[in-house]
Structures are given as structure tokens and as C-alpha cells.
Amino acid sequence: MEMLKHFVRLVVILSYCLCTEVSRSQLEPKIIYYKADDTGYLVRVTATTDTERIFYLIGSANYPSPLSVMVMRGSLESNVDVDDTLFFMKHNNDSINATEITESHGILFFNICEYEDKKGTAIFDDYKHSICRNSGEKLMWHYLESESILSSDLIVLTFQSRHWDPPNNVEHHGVKFQFTISNEDLDGILHVPAIRGVQIKMEFTEKLGKPESRLGVGMLIFTNSSIQSGQNFLQTDTFNFGVELEPGNFFSTSVQFDKRDPSEPKPPNASPAYLFWRSVCFVDSENRWYSGRRVAAFQSSPLHTHKENERINRSLPQVIYGAKRFNIHIHNNDTVAVMEEWFGFGSPLDGFYAKTNYTDWTFVMALGHPPPDHSPQAGRLFAPLILPLLVLVVTLSFYFCRQRFCPLPTADPGDVTRPLIDEIVDDDNSYPGFGDPCVTEVCENATEIHASAPDSYGAI
């Protein structure tokens, strides 16, 4: 009987382990990459679960083009095929084919600019006339294999900018982007859901031309749902103790692709997805406490407008190259919501990264809803700050209620002179008069004797 129990226990443990391994293996991404040369690189990441398949397309073409990332989700029978030969050509309308894709979202970095902040507001309000020498139209993105990881558990893709500056006879390499996808949740500076989100980290080390200059980044956001004229994606700021690991940085911002601002009476038929970033960037990787810079972000209408009878189809080449009729989806909704998000890095009255010439910025694009507000660090503040105040308030409240509703009982005036001990048995060591009934009776009768006052003091 005992051996049977051990056998059953062993079977249960092995079954649990096997189930765990099968579930884990279904979350492992499969990598297919297409490489034309050192400056053209595209990665397709495929992740399969029990109910769906998720595809990522990350990279750029082999001539100046924006760096982009796109995430698509579909059924278990869905698929995304990329013709690398066509993709790395200038006219690549037929380079991507997709079947049974239910949703798609993407972003691309089309502008990295230097702008002047003469007002000292750190707001990127003059982005149309900024100096965009590092724009996506001029940058060549070089894939850094030494800083990248391609495995079944973790994907890290690193791209370095390359731009030749003829007047100064120098090549710029100041911008670096790193994309991370994992089959496990990443809980670093920002939460990244497993296989359903990508973490994007930007590093900028290039010197700006003027003391009042700041770094501006232009990003194009698109998703497979429509948006009306005059609307933006819903963008909200959050004050959250749990977002930042570094003390003092409690701000974060999220853009929800499935919600509009102002909202419509009938919400759009959109799948939830979001962008989530820190509202504070850092210009010093060592001393981040003193080097925080606020990131100002806002949405604006795309500069590349389209005619009313033209469609913006849901595809990566469409957004980058402007192909008019390239639809990779089989659904009737052929339009996409496209919006430009502009970021200004800096803080009022302080030159951007004036001392260190370095900035580090991280954000997340993921499927689903933004992480809920939570403050795990609030408990650390509760003990030293709130708890003593709470003890003081409770103590004062206790005494007030005690005096107000439960006063102390008062003694009876007639009982004040009553002895505490009525009777003590007399013995050899006791004081005379205590507990002796005869003496007590004499003392009681003594009150009836009227003694006369002595004639003089000191008489015997």
C-alpha cells in the first residue's frame, strides 16, 4: 500500500512536469530573419499558445528607412509570410502576405530631431521646423549582432543608426534602439507581458549643436481600427509609486489604441493594445537620482495626409513607403488609425544632457490593456511616515472618547474617611487599638465623656 502511494505521487509529479514543459514549449517563439546586408535586417518572431499565434516584424529595409516594429495576432491557423527579396527592394507592395489575422498594431520611428527650446518649456511645439538631421529618411540602421540574442526563450534585437554628415565629414552613430521579446514576463523598469509585448529601449549619445537644443523623437502609431477627424488615441498620465524603480520618478504615460479622445457615443470595434513609457528619461546611467529629465509627449495629425477616397491599409510596407493598395487582411475594415506621437526630452531651464551627453529611455508596446495602477512601494512609506501619525491620532481619539463617553467613576463623599482595613486581629506585634473589641468599645464610649480643659500648660 505504501509503495502504491509513492507510485501515484511520482506519476502526479511527472505529469505536472510534462504538462509544464508542453505549455512552456508552446510559448517559445520561432525566429525567421531576412538579411540583405549590414544595413538591412528584418526579423519575424512567431509565438504559439494553446489558442492563438502572435507574429512580430522588427527591422528596416536596406536603404534609408524608418525603424519599425509590428505585432499581429490570429488563430492557430494564421500565418504571416515575408518575401525577403521583395521586402528589401524599393517597391515591395507584395512582400508580406497574411492569413486569418484578427488584429495588427505597429509603430515606427521616422524622425529623430534636434529642436531649440528657447521658451524653456521642454515642449516639442515647433517640431515641423526642427532640425531633423537624424530623421528616418536619412538614417541607415545597422544591426548589431554582438548585442543581440536570438533564442527560443529570449529575443533581443539591437539597431545602431548610421548617418553621414558631409559638411563636417563625420558619420553619426548616436542613436541605438533595442527590442526585447520574452516568453516570460519581464518586470524591470516597466512590466512587459510574456510574448504579447515588446520592450523598446532607446539610447542617445550624440552631441546637440546648440546649448538650448533638445532631443525630439517622432513616432508613427497605427492600428487596425478607424479613427475620426479631430480624434486622438486616449493618452493618460499616471502617478504611480510602483512604476519606477528609481526613487522620485513616479510618472508614466500610456496610449490606448482601442480608445479615442474625445470618445465616440459608440466605441470603435477595436482590439485593445497600448504604448506605455516612463515620463522621465535619464541622462546619466550611474547617477539617475539627480539626472532625471521630464519627457513631454503629445499627438498630432500625420504630416503625410491622404485623400478621402484613398485607403491606408494594414501593413508594414504601406506605412513606411505609402503603397495605396496593399491589404494583408481578409476582413472588410481596410482602414487603419494612424497618429503621430512626438516626444520632447528635457526639463525647463536645464540644457538637455548638458553634462553627460547620454539619455536612456524605455517603453513597451503590448497587446491587451495597460497594467493596473498599483503601488507596491507604498508599504515602505507607510511604516516610517503614516504609522506614527496614525498611532498619535488613535491615542488622542481614545482619550477623547474615554473622557466624553466613559468618564472615570467618582468616589462617594461619605466613604472617603472609611478605613481600608476594618479589622485586624491584635497580637504581640500589632498596634494597640486595632481589632480589639474592648478597646473599640471604649473608644466609642469615650465620645460621651466630657473632659475639662487643663488650667495651665505643662501641668502634671
Q: Tell me which amino acid residue 353 is.
A: Y
Q: Domain limits at 152? A: 107-306+335-380
DSSP string, 63-76: SS--EEEEEEEEEE
Rounded CA-CA distance 181/179 in Å is 7
**Mean pLDDT, all residues of the chain:** 70
Rounded CA-CA distance 367/54 in Å is 10
Question: How many structural domains is the chain composed of?
Answer: 1
Please, are residues 170 and 133 in contact by the beta-carbon 8 Å criterion?
no
Q: What is the pLDDT of residues 227-285, one digit of tens each?
A: 887 889 999 988 765 544 554 556 789 999 999 999 877 777 788 999 999 887 777 66
Q: List, in order, residues 6 or more apart from 148 with CB less than 8 Å away.
A: 156, 157, 158
* Residue 214 lies inside a defined structural domain of this protein: yes
Rounded CA-CA distance 50/236 in Å is 33
pTM score: 0.71
Q: How confident is the model at residue 128 (pLDDT cuts 50, 70, 90)?
A: low
- Mean pLDDT of all residues in 122-126: 68
* Residue 402 lies inside a defined structural domain of this protein: no
Grid coordinates of 305: 495626409
Q: How confident is the model at residue 401 (pLDDT cuts 50, 70, 90)?
A: confident
DSSP 384: I
* Residue 459 lies inside a defined structural domain of this protein: no
Q: How many CB atoms lie within 10 A of CB 33?
A: 16
Grid coordinates of 109: 520611428
Q: What is the pLDDT of residues 315-366, one digit of tens each?
A: 455 555 443 333 433 334 446 788 889 898 876 545 445 555 677 889 999 9
* Residue 265 lies inside a defined structural domain of this protein: yes
Does residue 380 sit in helix, strand or coil?
helix
- Mean pLDDT of all residues in 14-30: 44
Q: Is 110 exposed, middle or buried (0-12, 13-18, 19+ CB in 10 A)?
A: buried
Q: What is the pLDDT of residue 258?
A: 92
* Residue 264 lies inside a defined structural domain of this protein: yes
Q: What is the pLDDT of residues 59-88, one digit of tens each?
A: 886 666 778 899 999 999 998 888 777 777
Q: List, in order, residues 6 or more apart from 174 with CB less than 8 Å away.
A: 134, 161, 204, 205, 206, 207
* Residue 447 lies inside a defined structural domain of this protein: no
* Residue 128 lies inside a defined structural domain of this protein: yes
Q: Tell me which amino acid residue 399 is.
A: Y
Name the nearest CA neighbour of 362 among 273, 281, 292, 242.
281
DSSP string, 207-238: PPSSTTEEEEEEEEEEESS---TT-EEEEEEE
- Mean pLDDT of all residues in 194-210: 86
* Residue 99 lies inside a defined structural domain of this protein: no
